[in-house]
Amino acid sequence: MKDDNKQPPKGTWLQIAKAVFWAFFGVRKQSDLDSDASSLTPAQVIIGGLIGAALFVMSLIIVVKIVT
Amino acid sequence: MNVTEANSVVLRKLLIFTVIMFGFGFALVPFYEKICEVTGLNNLLQADTLTENTQVDTARWVTVELDANTHGLPWQFKPLQSSVRVHPGELTQVVYEVRNNSDREINGQAIPSYSPQLLGKYLKKLECFCFSKQVLKPREVRQMPVQFLIEPGLPDDINTVTISYTFFELGNDNTVSLDISASQL
Amino acid sequence: MAAVHDHDIAHAHDHHPTGLMRWLTSTNHKDIGTMYLWFSFIMFLTGGVMALTIRAELFQPGLQIVNPEFFNQLTTMHGLVMIFGAIMPAFVGFANWQVPMMIGAPDMAFARMNNWSFWLLPPAALLLLGSFFAPGGAPAGGWTIYPPLSVQMGMGMDMAIFAIHILGASSIMGSINIITTILNMRAPGMTLMKMPMFVWTWLITAYLLVLVMPVLAGAVTMLLTDRNFGTNFFNAAGGGDPVMFQHIFWFFGHPEVYIMILPAFGIVSEIIPTFSRKPLFGYSSMVYATASIAILSCIVWAHHMFTAGMPVTGQLFFMYATMLIAVPTGVKVFNWTATMWRGSMSFETPMLFAIGFIFLFTLGGFSGVVCAIVPIDIQVQDTYYVIAHFHYVLVSGALFAIFGGAYYWLPKWTGHMYDETLGKWHFWLSMFFFNLAFFVQHFLGLAGMPRRIPDYALQFADFNMISTIGAFGFGLSQLLFLYVVLKCIRGGAKSPAKSWEGATSLEWTLPSPPPYHSFETPPVIR
């Protein structure tokens, strides 16, 4: 039904990374959100989120390795 | 694409996803076993190998108490000596005896348990009857060795440890029939 | 958010059946929502009676009322009934009523499947409760159904396993329906980022449900085959591992606790702006924080198992990950507080419950962070401290949000205002007795009283007595809620279309009560 994403996605990797980072923190500016919503596709966000989660897990493991 | 078609596309995707996740639940089983194997957390059925020559710490004694239990099967199970004194790093052999008191052939599997829990990390078993299932003919008596050493890394404040084995019955299809009715619980 | 739409006129050609058949065959999201809510309330009272029996037994040391076997069955069944029977169906009921009206859809995407997913619940509930009458009684090994106990129990366990299967299937179907409705059925102009927060939280919750419910189904299926078909997934003697069940169970179980709280966040995020007469502060942050919580919830499960035997690296990893979840949750709490800041607030019953929610849920969240710290958790594991912690997040969290949501939307659903005085009484009685019942349990836990025991040492007697008094007060206060709801259904002051001055979302553009078929012509969102 929704075919309004016809225009090619303009989201760059940097923008995805930023969106995912702020998503993990849970804070996002309204203006940034608007630009995210217009330029990022769900697939990009999901892949970005998974990569972000993997990085998060790895960084935690590194921290744990350092302290033990 | 009208709404009904779009809906059934989403429905199909989500159903496939659900089935995948159901399978994922089962895939966690080999995954878990693999992790345990890699990290060496849960190798109850494999003999340990000694990688280097362990130094025997002759200045130190550790008392190893031997314990034996059966769980719901008509076997008599006991160690031949109730405890041994060993030096850390010294290869020791102890013998357990098991007797089938019934008139049928029974398969049993022994499950080890250590006290303190920490011992698991320092106990290396080169040979154990617990590595495989034991099949006892009616009235059969069997003596079974355990060959182990305790690594010298065992913390200094631990002077007495307990190694315990519990025999569980394996059915013919390798199942344990824990004959406990709810009223007994 | 304003909407223009054609007023839906009752359809002259609408011949839906009446009486019992209306409810049995209904595919209407409002009917099904109502049934979900009543079902969950009945299960809430059932689980509540179990809880009160537990508390009555614990009123004094020694065994007075029930024997230990039955006590264990009660604690187990109280957990299962409240989680799978009361809290989860209540939120699905809210979703059924509200999601289509809030996004301007005529109904749920799959109306027949919706009917099916509700009508799976009563048989599942009968199966679950019927296990009390099975030989050996109901499951008694705790709601987490850990092996080896759950492998050894009588056939009541099999009945519970089947009940969990059916309830899981119902949840999955409900979630698929909700996801599809939200993704495909939004009115023109209702972009994802214009959706009300409640719809957002439910979208994310539904994804979590289809992610983890099948895993639970797999776990209990393995239990079932271990029990009946000779497999050895969890049997140490046969080469299995009981700890593996705990890992698989909590892979489901931890996201499950967020499944039970995210819709509550959504409801509170609707109520607070309405009664503060300000838009929700940091709407986008709230969306992102919800997503963040959902993702993080999948990687912290083993903090339920710190004492089950785990390398120290594992303990530290799960401890850090768990403590970091508090960050997005904290963002939400600050956003709600900031929404109230300098708002022209009024304190009707829904707002009271929402503020009570923020206050007490934060307390429960903090005790959660305390439990996340490994050395402390090893101390308080399986004590009343844990009981106090999760009742603060589930009763004063999820349940208070459900009450708040019910009061908030009752005028919309019934067309009548509820009795405000009685509603406030209900809140203050619940608030007082809830804290009486559960705050002291923190002390009991820190003093070392274990959970799931029918008898206890004498030094715990005073706090247990206080807790029991609080529990009975809380339980009886809920009858007041029943009375208020029934009174509201039967009559009362007419509610205007917009029952609350500060309400903005789409459902308030419909008359109260909304017509049986609403938004058949989609509204246009400007």
Q: Closest approach of chain A CAs to the CA of B113, in angstroms?
A: 27
Q: Which residues of B touch A1 (CB under 8 A)?
A: 1-3, 6
pLDDT category of residue A53 using cuts at 50, 70 and 90: confident
Domain range spanning residue A56? Answer: 13-67
Looking at residue C4, its pLDDT comes to: 41
Contact B138, B102 (CB under 8 A): yes
B37 to chain A, closest Cα gap in Å: 19
- Mutation choice for C interface testing from B2, B4, B11, B39 by most C CBs within 10 A: B11
Comparing B49-63, C58-72, C190-204, C326-340, the range with the smallest average pLDDT is B49-63
Instruction: Considering only residues A35 and C513, tell me which one the structure prediction assigns the higher pLDDT.
Output: C513
**pLDDT over threshold 70, residue C421:** yes
pLDDT at B34: 85
Instruction: Decide if A8 is inside a domain.
Output: no
Looking at residue C109, its amino acid is A
- DSSP alpha helix (H) spans, chain A: 13-25, 30-39, 42-67
With an 8 Å Cβ cutoff, the interface of chain C facing chain A consists of 184, 191-193, 282-285, 287-289, 291-293, 295-296, 298-299, 312-313, 316-317, 320-321, 327-328, 331-332
pLDDT digits (tens, 9 = 90+) for C443-460: 999 999 999 999 999 999
pLDDT(A5) > 70? no
Q: What is the pLDDT of residue B180?
A: 35
Does residue A23 sit at the C interface (CB-CB below 8 Å)? yes
Mean pLDDT of chain B: 82
Within a domain: residue A63?
Answer: yes
**Which stretches of chain A sit within 8 Å of chain B by CB?**
1
In the stretch 384-423 of chain C, residues with CB closer than 8 A to chain B read: none
Q: Is the pLDDT confidence value at C429 over 90?
A: yes
Does residue A2 lie in a domain region? no
Catalytic, out of C205, C329, C349, C512: C329
Q: Residues of A with CB below 8 A from C191's CB?
A: 37
Here the ipTM equals 0.86
CB C501 within 8 Å of CB C277: yes
Residues 6+ apart with CB under 8 A from C107: C27, C28, C29, C100, C517
The answer to whether residue A22 is domain-embedded is yes
Burial class of C2 by CB neighbour count within 10 A (0 to 12, 13 to 18, 19+): exposed
What's the confidence (pLDDT) of residue C7?
Answer: 43
**% of chain B with per-residue pLDDT over 90:** 25
Token readout for C292 is 């963040």
C346 in active site: no
Q: Encode pLDDT of B4-13 as tens digits.
A: 889 999 999 9
Q: How far apart are CA C231 and CA C241, in angstroms?
A: 12
Catalytic residue from among C186, C304, C416, C426: C304
Q: Indicate whether C442 pLDDT > 50.
A: yes
Over chain C, what is the mean pLDDT?
Answer: 92
To which CATH superfamily is domain C25-260 assigned? Answer: Cytochrome c oxidase-like, subunit I domain (1.20.210.10)
Give B43's pLDDT tier (boundaries 50, 70, 90).
low
Mean pLDDT along residues B161-171: 84
pLDDT of C2 strictly over 70: no
- Asked if residue C164 has pLDDT above 80, the reply is yes
Q: How confident is the model at residue B154 (pLDDT cuts 50, 70, 90)?
A: confident
Which of B55-69, B93-107, C456-470: highest mean pLDDT? C456-470
The pLDDT-based confidence of C237 (bands split at 50, 70, 90) is low
Identify which of C152, C322, C326, C345 has the alpha carbon closest to the alpha carbon of residue C235: C152
H or E segment at C475?
helix C461-490
Active-site option among C186, C332, C412, C442 = C332
Q: What is the pLDDT of residues C89-131, one digit of tens each?
A: 999 999 999 999 999 999 999 999 999 999 999 999 999 999 9
Buried b (16+ CB within 10 A) or exposed e, B13-41: ebeebbeebbebbbebbeebeeebeeeeb
Chain C CB contacts of A2 under 8 Å are 184
Q: Does residue C391 carry a catalytic annotation?
A: no
Helix residue ranges, H only, C261-419? 262-276, 283-296, 312-340, 349-372, 374-380, 384-393, 400-414
What pLDDT was estimated at residue C514? Answer: 93
**Helices A13-25, C312-340: inter-axial angle, 10-degree rounding:** 80
d(CA C98, CA C409): 9
User: Would the pLDDT of C67 be above 90?
Assistant: yes
**Phi, psi at C124, each rounded to 5°:** -65, -40
Please report, for chain B, the start and end positions of each structural domain, with discontinuous segments joined by +.
1-42, 62-170
Size of the B and C interface in Cβ pairs below 8 Å: 123
Would residue A18 count as lying in a domain? Answer: yes
From CA C378, how far away is CA C240, in angstroms rounded?
25
Nearest CA in chain C to B39: C311
pLDDT category at A11 given cuts 50, 70, 90 is low
Pick the CATH number of B62-170 from 3.20.20.70, 3.90.1150.10, 2.60.370.10, 3.40.50.300: 2.60.370.10
**Percent of residues, chain C, with pLDDT higher than 90:** 79
Q: Whole-angstrom Cα distance, residue C136 to residue C23?
A: 36
Q: What is the pTM of this model?
A: 0.84
Long-range pairs, B182-185, Cβ under 8 A, ≥24: B182/C135, B182/C136, B182/C137, B182/C140, B182/C152, B182/C153, B182/C154, B182/C156, B183/C136, B185/C69, B185/C136, B185/C140, B185/C149, B185/C152, B185/C153
The one catalytic residue among C57, C256, C348, C419: C256
The pLDDT value recorded for residue C186 is 92
Q: Calculate the CA B170 to chain-centre distance.
A: 14
Q: Which subunits count as partners of chain A given 3+ CB pairs below 8 Å?
A: B, C
What is the pLDDT averaged over residues A4-22? 67
* Amino acid in the structure at residue B12: R
Residue C470: its H or E element: helix C461-490
Is C4 or C307 the better-scoring residue by pLDDT?
C307
CA distance B52 to chain C (A): 24
Q: Which of C34, C117, C170, C201 is catalytic?
A: C170
Query: Cα torsion at C358, C362, C368, C373 (round to 10°)?
Result: 160
- Tokens for C242? 């009981």
Whether cis (ω within 30° of 0) applies to the bond prior to B116 is yes
